Each structure stands twice: as structure tokens, then as C-alpha cells.
């Protein structure tokens, strides 16, 4: 799984919105923090563009994949649209009328044509369905069908008038048990649901994740670099195919089984908690100060998650603890040399040089006057390590920012199935769960980012060469 997240998409009902139809203050802050990091933020919904427009404006969102991928917008333009053929829409209307099923037509102005659709697509309808015991599901469906049969068919002329505008999605009142019948009658239509009482009918090959994929092609991000949030059937494909699919705590069981991670509910700041879990934002703590160094804040989030040990007052390391911290750094230095050596013999020779350098460094610092303040001496050495590390990146021509985020996200994945971090009894180093390599190892993300930087550099060099030839 690639954890270099460049874009985050939210379903709306039951996900972005709580049950009071509001975006919580915590979620708003989380979105703002994502935006400040340069991460794209968008919506992926079965709702129409007119419905999502206020959310995009108020939250400063970049995109909205609406009508389950049929209509994609940014805040200032339509990026993609795929209307249903008029003949198909008319056939769907006739089919619905013959069976006394109401339909609504999804246009750029909204979902038009039926008031009863609101019952099936409302959060009340969805929430109510989840409260019904499984043994009573068939009874409820039969009762719902009986209610629908009593409804007077919609006015065909009204629907024909609406059809003059492009139609991107048809919503039909229908129980889950009727899905196969509709599919048999319309094999070239894709059926998806966000409600047990209505079906969303769109073109084959379309979906929320397909819409996100189109945006990725246009704005240079891969599906593996996308995090998605959802709670319903029409979110399942999106949760499955994105780099990280997060199911809300209030999601259907099918959505939860598909997701990579299950967070808290839409009423309990589930979005912010999941983003914090993966290290993309910082959940505020009344005891912690906020550094101007975002990487520092991320690492503190890691320590808070793993062992709860953070400090807000400067303190000096004891010798044993300082030794463990130095051992961690030394391991990475040896790994750096190992990656550089082309043979076991070269590696052994480099190690011998490292031992000699260590002895030389020891004599050099022993010749110095011991610092009056151990705290100042420790901080000075650690800052020099940071500076030298950045210098190495400068000389390599590699921007470490996105790579740091990938490593951070991988470290945040070192939680065991019992929900706790496990530690080496001697060094206290965080241990890795059995499936960590498969799910969270950062090497694929690092390779992807380094390759991206290489391609960008080569394009820049090519452009410069072409410019010189033109001159």
C-alpha cells in the first residue's frame, strides 16, 4: 500500500456530515490542515453538483465527483460530464411508470421529478434501515412495496420537460431485492446504492473511484496516493481501490469489510481521528505546544500514539536513553552505507572505515572541553545531525518532504491487532506487526516519489535544452 497521500475524498451523507447535517468544527479544521499541506481535498458522492457547490465554497474544496462519477467539477469549472442517452432515460421512465415506481432525474441543477425519493435518499431513511433487525428485512421491504403501489404514477409530461436538460443519473424508488430485475432489463446501466429504498442508475464503467482516477490523471496523482472516506454501498469500490479506504464507524457492514481502516462515527469526529491515525493531521492536545516545524509535530503524533511519551519542557537525556537514541541513528547510518556498497567486500570495507571514523570522532570530542550544559550539548549535536542530513539530500538532488510523509505514515501503521504498540524489551524500539511489510512498508512510496522527481528533473532539463536550441 502506497502511503504518500496527495488527495483525500469524502462521501457526504453519513461521512462528511454528522446526523444534524453539519460539518463539525473538528472536521473543518482537519480539512484546513490538509489544504495547508498542499493535499487535494474533494467530495465523491451520489449527490448532484448543485447540492455540493456550497460545501466546496465554504470548505475550500478542490473537486467534487458527483452523480457517482458522471459529473466532475472544480470550484470554477466542469472538468468532466457524461450524460445518459435520452432514449435510455425515457425507457427508464416508462419502466418506472409501468411498475408505479417514482424516478428523479439528475441534472446540473439538481435531482428533479419526485418528492418521495427524498425518503429513500435521506439520512433518516438510511439510518432507519440499519436499525431494522435482519430477520425483519423482508417484512419491511414488502411493506415498502405496498406503500409504493398506492402512489399515483408521476406525470410523464413533467418528466419529459426535465429531460430537455442533460440527465446524468436516474434515481428510482426500488428495494434492494429489485436490483437484479432492473439490471436484467437494462444491462447497459450500472446500478449502485446509497439507500435501501432507491437505486442510482448511471452509465456502465462509471463510479466514484473512476471519477477520482480521472482527476488523478489530470492533476498528477495515482489511486495509491488517495485516501477515501465512506459509509454506504456506493462507496465500496472507492474504499477498495484507493490507497487507504476508511469506513466510518456508522458504515454498513459491507463497507467496513472492504475498508483498510474503520474509524469512529460521523458524529464522533471519525474523519479527523482517521487522518490523525495516518499522520496527515494533528489532533490538538491541550498539553502540547504546536511547533512551526510540521515534521516535528508529525513525529510527536507518532510518539503520542505509540507510548504517550511526549515532553513540553526541555530536558536532558540520561546516558542509557541517549545510548539507545544513538543506536537507532547508527543503524540508519549502516543502512545508508549498505545501500551504497555494490558487494559484500565493499560493505565490509566501508564498515571498517566507519569504525575508524568512530574512533577518530571519539578522540576529537574528548579533546574538547565538556559542555557546561549537557542539554545544550545534546541539542547542538542533534541539530547538526539534522543539518547534515538535509545537506546530503541537497547533494543528492532529492526533495525529502513527500518522502518524510510516507515514512511517517508507515511508522503510524506499527499498531498491533490489539490496538497497542509493542516494544523491544531492551532497546524499547517500536516493533512491527506481522503484516506491516505487506501493508505499510514505505519503500514502494519512496521509489514512486524518487521516480517522480527524476521524471520532473529530466523534463526540466529537456525544456532547458529545447529553449537553448530555439535561441
Rounded average pLDDT over 385-398:
95
Q: Look at residues 264, 295, 286, 296 and name the one whose alpha carbon lies nearest to residue 277.
A: 264
Q: What confidence tier does 286 reach under pLDDT thresholds 50, 70, 90?
A: low
What does the domain layout of the chain look like in residue ranges?
Answer: 7-76+207-277, 86-203, 319-455
Q: What confidence tier does 83 reach under pLDDT thresholds 50, 70, 90?
A: very high
Q: Identify the pLDDT of residue 194.
A: 79
Q: What dotted CATH number matches 7-76+207-277?
A: 3.40.50.1000
Q: What confidence tier does 360 reach under pLDDT thresholds 50, 70, 90?
A: very high
Whether the per-residue pLDDT at 50 is higher than 90: the answer is: yes
Q: Are 228 and 212 in contact (CB under 8 A)?
A: yes
pLDDT digits (tens, 9 = 90+) for 212-228: 999 999 999 999 999 99
Q: Identify the pLDDT of residue 120.
A: 42
Least confident of 131-135, 176-180, 188-192: 131-135
Radius of gyration, alpha carbons of the chain: 28
Rounded average pLDDT over 284-300:
76
Q: Look at residues 186, 216, 215 and name the one whose alpha carbon lies nearest to residue 203.
A: 186
pLDDT digits (tens, 9 = 90+) for 119-173: 444 444 444 444 445 444 444 445 544 554 455 567 788 888 899 999 999 999 8
Helix (H) or strand (E) holding 337: helix 319-340
Q: Look at residues 268, 263, 228 and name the one whose alpha carbon lies nearest to residue 248.
A: 263
Cα–Cα distance between 243 and 405 in angstroms, integer? 14
Q: Identify the pLDDT of residue 137.
A: 45
Q: How far is CA 363 from CA 318, 330, 366, in A?
A: 22, 18, 5
> Among residues of the chain, what percentage have pLDDT more than 70?
88
Q: 324 or 126, which is more confident?
A: 324
Tell me the H-state helices in 170-269.
Answer: 179-185, 208-219, 236-241, 253-258
Is CATH 3.30.450.90 what the domain over 319-455 is classified as, yes or no?
Answer: no
β partners of residue 9:
42, 228
Q: Identify the pLDDT of residue 125.
A: 45
Q: Look at residues 243, 246, 242 and name the one whose alpha carbon lies nearest to residue 231.
A: 246
Q: What confidence tier does 439 reach under pLDDT thresholds 50, 70, 90?
A: confident
Q: Identify the pLDDT of residue 292.
A: 82
pLDDT digits (tens, 9 = 90+) for 404-434: 888 887 887 787 766 677 888 877 778 888 8
Least confident of 184-193, 281-290, 435-444, 461-470: 281-290
Task: Write down the mean pLDDT value for the chain.
Answer: 86
**Domain 86-203: CATH architecture, name and number where available:** 2-Layer Sandwich (3.30)
Tell me the H-state helices in 341-442.
Answer: 344-366, 374-396, 401-412, 436-440
Helix (H) or strand (E) holding 98: helix 86-98
Q: What confidence tier does 372 reach under pLDDT thresholds 50, 70, 90?
A: confident
Q: Are 243 and 226 in contact (CB under 8 A)?
A: yes
* SS3 state at 414: coil
Q: How far is CA 18 from CA 22, 68, 257, 274, in A?
A: 6, 21, 22, 16
Cα–Cα distance between 42 and 9 in angstroms, integer? 5
Cα–Cα distance between 296 and 310 in angstroms, integer? 11
Rounded average pLDDT over 6-28:
94
Cα–Cα distance between 149 and 146 in angstroms, integer? 5
Q: Identify the pLDDT of residue 307.
A: 67
β partners of residue 111:
106
Q: Are 11 and 232 in contact (CB under 8 A)?
A: yes
Cα–Cα distance between 374 and 378 in angstroms, integer? 6
Q: Are 73 and 63 in contact (CB under 8 A)?
A: yes
- As given in the structure block, the three cell numbers for residue 179 are 436490483
Q: Which residue has the cell 440499519?
A: 130
Please tell me whether the overall predicted TM-score, pTM, comes out greater than 0.85 for this model.
Answer: no
Cα–Cα distance between 89 and 366 in angstroms, integer? 84
- Buried residues in 75-103 as b, exposed as e (16+ CB within 10 A): eeeebeebbbeeebbbebbebbbebebbb
- As given in the structure block, the three cell numbers for residue 99 are 411498475
Sheet with 198-203: strands ordered across? 110-112, 103-107, 169-173, 198-203, 189-195
Fold agreement (7-76+207-277, 319-455): no
Cα–Cα distance between 27 and 34 in angstroms, integer? 11
Measured in degrees and rounded to the nearest 5, phi and psi for residue 188 equal: -95, 5
Amino acid at each position: 500500500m502506497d502511503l504518500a497521500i496527495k488527495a483525500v475524498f469524502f462521501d457526504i451523507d453519513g461521512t462528511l456530515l454528522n446526523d444534524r447535517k453539519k460539518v463539525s468544527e473538528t472536521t473543518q479544521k482537519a480539512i484546513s490542515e490538509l489544504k495547508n499541506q498542499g493535499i487535494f481535498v474533494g467530495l465523491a458522492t451520489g449527490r448532484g453538483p448543485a447540492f455540493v457547490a456550497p460545501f466546496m465554497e465554504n470548505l475550500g474544496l478542490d473537486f467534487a465527483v458527483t452523480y457517482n462519477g458522471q459529473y466532475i467539477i472544480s470550484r470554477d469549472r466542469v472538468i468532466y460530464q457524461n450524460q445518459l442517452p435520452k432514449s435510455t432515460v425515457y425507457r427508464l421512465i416508462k419502466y418506472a411508470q409501468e411498475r408505479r415506481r417514482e424516478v428523479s432525474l439528475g441534472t446540473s441543477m439538481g435531482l428533479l421529478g419526485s418528492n418521495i425519493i427524498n425518503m429513500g435518499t435521506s439520512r433518516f431513511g438510511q439510518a432507519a434501515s440499519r436499525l431494522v433487525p435482519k430477520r425483519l428485512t423482508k417484512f419491511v421491504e414488502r411493506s415498502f412495496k405496498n406503500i409504493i403501489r398506492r402512489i399515483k404514477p408521476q406525470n410523464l409530461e413533467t418528466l419529459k420537460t426535465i429531460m430537455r436538460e442533460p440527465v446524468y443519473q436516474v434515481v428510482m424508488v426500488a428495494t434492494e431485492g429489485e436490483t437484479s430485475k432492473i439490471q436484467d432489463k437494462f444491462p447497459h446501466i450500472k446500478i449502485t446504492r446509497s439507500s435501501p429504498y432507491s437505486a442510482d442508475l448511471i452509465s456502465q464503467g462509471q463510479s466514484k473511484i473512476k471519477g477520482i482516477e480521472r482527476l488523478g490523471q489530470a492533476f498528477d496523482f495515482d489511486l495509491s496516493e488517495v485516501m477515501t472516506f465512506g459509509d454506504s454501498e456506493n462507496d465500496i469500490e472507492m474504499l477498495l481501490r484507493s490507497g487507504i479506504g476508511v469506513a466510518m464507524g456508522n458504515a454498513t457492514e459491507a463497507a467496513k469489510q472492504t475498508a483498510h481502516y474503520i474509524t469512529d462515527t460521523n458524529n464522533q469526529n471519525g474523519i479527523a481521528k482517521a487522518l490523525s491515525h495516518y499522520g496527515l493531521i494533528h489532533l490538538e492536545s491541550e498539553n502540547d505546544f504546536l511547533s512551526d516545524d510540521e515534521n516535528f509535530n508529525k513525529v510527536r503524533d507518532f510518539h503520542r500514539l505509540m507510548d504517550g511519551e511526549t515532553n513540553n519542557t526541555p530536558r536532558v537525556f540520561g546516558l542509557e536513553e541517549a545510548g539507545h537514541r544513538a543506536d537507532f541513528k547508527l543503524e540508519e547510518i549502516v543502512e545508508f552505507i549498505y545501500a551504497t556498497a555494490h558487494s559484500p567486500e565493499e560493505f565490509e570495507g566501508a564498515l571498517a572505515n566507519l569504525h575508524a571514523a568512530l574512533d577518530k570522532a571519539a578522540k576529537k570530542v574528548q579533546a574538547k572541553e565538556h559542555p557546561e550544559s549537557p542539554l545544550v550539548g545534546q541539542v547542538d549535536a542533534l541539530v547538526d545531525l539534522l543539518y547534515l542530513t538535509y545537506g546530503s539530500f541537497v547533494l543528492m538532488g532529492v526533495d525529502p518532504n513527500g518522502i518524510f510523509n510516507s515514512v511517517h505514515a508507515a511508522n503510524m501503521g506499527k499498531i498491533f491487532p490489539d490496538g497497542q504498540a509493542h516494544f523491544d524489551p531492551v532497546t524499547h524500539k517500536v516493533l512491527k506487526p506481522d503484516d506491516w511489510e505487506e501493508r505499510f512498508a514505505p519503500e514502494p512510496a519512496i521509489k514512486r516519489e524518487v521516480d517522480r522527481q527524476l521524471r520532473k528533473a529530466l523534463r526540466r532539463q529537456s525544456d532547458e535544452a529545447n529553449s537553448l536550441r530555439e535561441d
